[in-house]
Each structure stands twice: as structure tokens, then as C-alpha cells.
Chain A
Amino acid sequence: MSCAIACQRLTLRYGRHVAVEALDAEFEAGSLTALVGPNGAGKSTLLEAIVSGTGTAEGRIECRDGERRSLAYLPQQPQIDRGFPISVQGLVAMGFWARLGAWQRLKRAEHNEMRRALEAVGLRSHATRPIASLSGGEFQRALFARIIVQQARLILLDEPFAAVDEETSRALQDIILRWHGEQRTVIVALHDLEIVRARFPGALWLDRIKLAHGRAEDVLREIERARSASGFPSRVHAHHDHEVASC
């Protein structure tokens, strides 16, 4: 197995606040990793750094050749104008941008691909509806359909199950597992450890620094052990940001 992304001594800051510190981590090509840790642990910051590269960061993020060019990223709160007059299939068609560019029209192959993607997320009958009419869960499904047609080799998802009902959550997890089966590299930030236990083969436990990384069951056992040792239910290394910055 080759390595898709390698972080070396990676430190990421927000102003003076250190979000991620001295992270060494490698993500194998074709691996499916859950990125876990409390709020403010640096999960989103890490994903964004992988997306944008490390312009201002210390340390390095190395991506395998072409990995960053074939990347799909779903932020926690996408800044999407949901009042814009565009249909669900119009939104999904954005996923073809990398292949078709600005001016090539969708051909039959792409239309078929789009129909299969909408079917996979359970929105086949919603194709021509305006996105303004979708519920929160349906909208998240549509965004997953867009990722499907992107056919990216590297897929980064930030809390994709946070605002959806259980049925949608399970459907989206199935799609993520399918991507894993297709040898895509997938990293998902999430906080529901039960989902990690049930569906994810690998996990990285991050709380500013890397606390554990490896098979999901091992990482979860580490988290359990730390919880029972500290008495804090979720936050192991309880710290305040300004204290960290000053020491």
C-alpha cells in the first residue's frame, strides 16, 4: 500500500492560537479514516489544510501525485446559496467540472452517471426540483451525489452526519463504505464514536496533538481508557486555548 497523504511535523495556527501541533500522520491510499476528537481539536483545520496545501503552516503535507488535483471536500457548513434558482441535477452537475471544464456540455454518459448518483442517494425523483425545496437531509444527500460524480481519489468530509436524521446518516455511511470499496482515500471528521465503531476501519484521534492513530477499535479503546482515567466524559486533555498559547 502506498501513502496518499503524509503530514510531517505539521503545525497549523489561527492567529496566535495553535489548532494542530507537530502532527506526524500518514494516510494510506485507499484507506478510510475517522477523524475524531472534541470540538476545537483541530479536525476541520486539518482537513482544510489538506485541501488548500500548507501555504502558511509549519511542517509539510505531502500528497501523492495528483491526489490533490482529484479531491472532493465537503465542509461542515458549506457556504452554499440555497435560495439560488438551480435544480438538484444542476447542483450535482457541478461535480463534472474537473472533467468537463466550463464549456463542455454534459453528454449521455454524464447524464447516466448523474442519474445513477441520484439513485444512489435516494433522490432520483427529486432531480428537477429546485434546491430551495430540499430538506436538510435531502440537501446533504444531493451534495453526496455531487461527490459521487466527481469521482475523486481523495474525499474529505467534515461532520457529514451532523445535521441529518438517522436514516439519511446510515445511507450516507453506506456510500462512504462504497467509496472505500472502490479504493478511494476517505477521511471523515465526526464525533459520534458509535458510528466509528460500527463502520470505520481506521481512526485518528486528534486533540491539537495526535493522541492515537491506527485501527479504529484500538483508537476507540484508547479513548475509553483515557475517559475512565480522567473522569471527563469526552474531553481528555482539558485545556483552554490561551493557556496553551502561553506555555
Chain B
Amino acid sequence: MLVEVFLAPFMEFAFMRRALLGYLLLAAGAAPVGVFLLLRRMTLAGEAVAHGILPGIAVAFVISGLSLFSLTLGGLAGGLVVALSATWMARRTLLREDATLATLYLLAVALGVLLISSHGRNVDLLHFLFGGILGLDDPTLQLLAAIAAVSIVAMTFLIRPLTFESVDPAFMRVVSGRGGLIHGGFMALVVLNLVAGFHALGTLLALGVMVLPAAAARLWSQRLSVIVALAVLGAWFGGFSGLLLSFHLDVPSGPSIVAAIGFLFVISLTFAPAGGLFGQGLARSPTAP
């Protein structure tokens, strides 16, 4: 019975195994990046960048159809454009960051949907918005593996400077003067992982594998290493159970995965000691004496 429910789908169907493998790779790279996105209070920026990928992909799609290479390149370009323009607009105009992000987000979705639906079918649009994790081919799996490898290696080098820069950016400006470089490198990692997330979960849900596990994990610990480990484990658990859910109930897999991680988040919100609803609220009063 247990084997039938939990293992048989993966043992019997290659597409389920590929989906699980692709997702585990994606989560291994994206969840740690998501932890810093959360800790740097940049989840909304992440959301805007995730949607910025869509028009980039759309342009690539119009030019060269469903080619993995050009879609990836287009997604990277779109995400970077939104990341850079968000920074630029927040610095150079009167608008606050939330307004610039919302503006870019809306424009990106509108532009992307317009481009894709005028040149493709509704199936293409749905594929781009919600991903195709059950249809991962070899090249896409290799791409996900490569992005995960780059992301993990980069994060091991970046984690200390990024931590310090997140805690006290002014201090880092005085002692190193490389705050911009650290931030830029991190944003590049965010875009890279969102593009990987797009291939599996689509642009609408790509951020889910980054932010939801991070938010859930944050509630359980005050130690960064523990939070990162919990985020990866939580993301993996969500992927595994989400895929099973999608298989047995015959519902779309991307949203199932995100919903499964969301379930973990609700559990954490309710029971976690370090800031949950019934916990002691350690994290909520950092300035109290």
C-alpha cells in the first residue's frame, strides 16, 4: 500500500522520475538563494524579476520557437533587465521600491502574454506560465543540473560576504567597498535560478521554490546554516509530495508542488518555536530591551 502510493509512480513512469530529479536539482540550487532573498527583504523584487523573465522568453519564442537555448537566454536577459531597471528606478525617481516593482511586474506580464498569444497557441502560453515539469527532456535536465551546480558553488563562495552585507551594508561599504559587487552577484544568481524554475514550474510559480521553503524554514531557527538546510529539505519534501499529489489526483504538477510547500509553511507558521503563531516570538522583538 505504502509502496504503491509513494514509490510506484516513480518506479513505473520515467516522466515522474525525470520530474523528481529535475525538481530536486532545481530546489538544491534555488532554496538557499531563496533564504537570502527572504533575509534581504527582497521577495517582492524576486517576484518582479520572475515575471520579467516572461517577456524575455516571449521575444526568444517569437524569434526561434521552442528552443531550450534561446528560451533560457531570453529569460536570463528579461530577468536581468527587470532587476537592473528596478534598482535604477528606485534610485533615480521619486517612486518607492514597492511601486517600481509592481509597475515592472505588471508591464512584464502584459507584454509577455501579448507577445506569446499573438505568435503561439494557448498551450504555449500555459506552458510558459505554469511550466512543464512532467515533460522535462534530457537537455533541460542537464541545464537544471548545470544551474544547480553553478548556484551551489557560487553560494559557498558568496555566503560570508553576502551574510555580512545583509546584516550591516554600511559596515561593508567602509571595510570592503564591494557591496555593489556582492549584491550584483547575488541578483545574477537569483535570475539564474528563476530561469531554472521557469523550465520546471513556469514563470508564475518559479519563485515558489525559493521563497516558500525559506519562509517556512526561517520560522524554525535563528541559525543561518540550519535555515538553509531546512529550506532545501522542505523544498524537496514539497516536490516529492506535490508530484505524488499531482499524479494521484490528476491535477497540474507545478501548482501541486507549490501548494505542498505552502502546506509546510502553514504548519511552520502554526507550530514553529522561533516566530510561529504559538511560539515565543523570538524574532519579532529584536529591538526590545
Contacts and interface: CB of A to CB of B under 8 A. Distances in A.
Contact of B176 (A75, A78, A97): A97
Interface string B157-168: 100110110111
Given A97-B176, A103-B157, A130-B282, A82 B164 contact: no
B218 interface: yes
Interface stretch (A132-140, A177-185, A217-225): A132-140
Contact of A80 (B157, B168, B222): B168
Interface in A73-121: 73, 75, 78-87, 90-91, 94, 97-98, 102-103
A83 B157 contact: no
A137 to B, nearest CB: 8
A82 B286 contact: yes
Contacts of B286: 82-83, 131-132
B223 A102 contact: no
A71 interface: yes
Given A83-B286, A87-B223, A78 B170 contact: yes
Contacts, number: 71
B166 to A, nearest CB: 6
B94 interface: no
Contacts of B176: 97
A51 interface: yes
Nearest to A70: B175
Contacts of B175: 94, 97-98, 150
A161 B246 CA distance: 59
A157 to B, nearest CB: 13
Given A97-B176, A135-B289, A85 B168 contact: no
A75 B286 CA distance: 19
Contacts of A94: 164, 167-168, 171, 175
Contacts of A102: 157, 160-161
A79 B166 CA distance: 10
Interface of A: 51, 71, 73, 75, 78-87, 90-91, 94, 97-98, 102-103, 130-133, 135-137, 150
19 contacts: A73-B174, A80-B171, A81-B39, A82-B286, A84-B39, A84-B163, A84-B167, A85-B223, A85-B283, A90-B163, A91-B167, A94-B168, A94-B171, A97-B164, A97-B176, A130-B223, A132-B222, A132-B286, A136-B287
Given A86-B224, A135-B289, 18 more contacts: A71-B174, A78-B168, A79-B168, A79-B169, A80-B171, A84-B166, A85-B223, A85-B224, A85-B227, A87-B223, A97-B172, A97-B176, A103-B157, A103-B160, A130-B222, A130-B223, A136-B287, A136-B289
